[in-house]
Amino acid sequence: MDFLKRFASSSDFFGMKKSLLRSLIAGVVLAGMAGCAQVKKPAAQIKAAAVGSRFDRVGWVTLYAGEPCTSQIMFDFHGAGSTVWLGAPRHETEILTDAAKKNRRVHISGKWRGGGQSNCSYVEVTSAELTK
């Protein structure tokens, strides 16, 4: 009987060691994964051109996430390592929304505009077309 008590207590001890070891391994794996995760920095906002000057580029668009400095801004244009804010009339908005949802490249033409704040420049889209 004494032997069974020792056997039971030693198996409980080894079970606890296994459980502790598994938890430790899981913690190390999670810490390693977190250490390898890359923080994605937002692309730099392109230096705005003079108000009224032309904008003509090809790139990708996403829906603007956040509080814009003016109500016209609805999209972020990504091209050549920079981001430009876009505002568009209804027809172009439909094209840009479709492009954003399907991650399609677009050719954007427009004019630089200034918002109400000093650091609030955006492109008013005059033409948007999907490209290949």
Q: 70 and 8 in one domain?
A: no
- The count of structural domains within the chain is 2
| Angstrom distances, CA of residue 28 to CA of 15, 54, 76 | 20, 54, 38
- Could you tell me which residues come within 8 angstroms of residue 40 by beta carbon, excluding any fewer than 6 positions away? none
Alpha helices in the chain (DSSP H): 2-36, 90-102
Distance CA 20, CA 67 (A): 47
Its pTM stands at: 0.62
Spatial contact of 122 and 115, defined as CB atoms under 8 Å apart: yes
Q: 7 and 48 in one domain?
A: no
Q: 35 and 91 in one domain?
A: no
Q: 18 and 31 in one domain?
A: yes
Q: 21 and 83 in one domain?
A: no
Q: 125 and 97 in one domain?
A: yes
> How many Cβ atoms from other residues are within 10 Å of residue 124's Cβ?
16
pLDDT at 43 over 50: no
Higher pLDDT, 55 or 116: 55
Q: 118 and 97 in one domain?
A: yes
Q: 29 and 87 in one domain?
A: no
Q: 123 and 68 in one domain?
A: yes
pLDDT band for 98, please (50, 70, 90 cuts). Answer: very high
| Residue range(s) defining the domain that contains residue 79 | 44-130
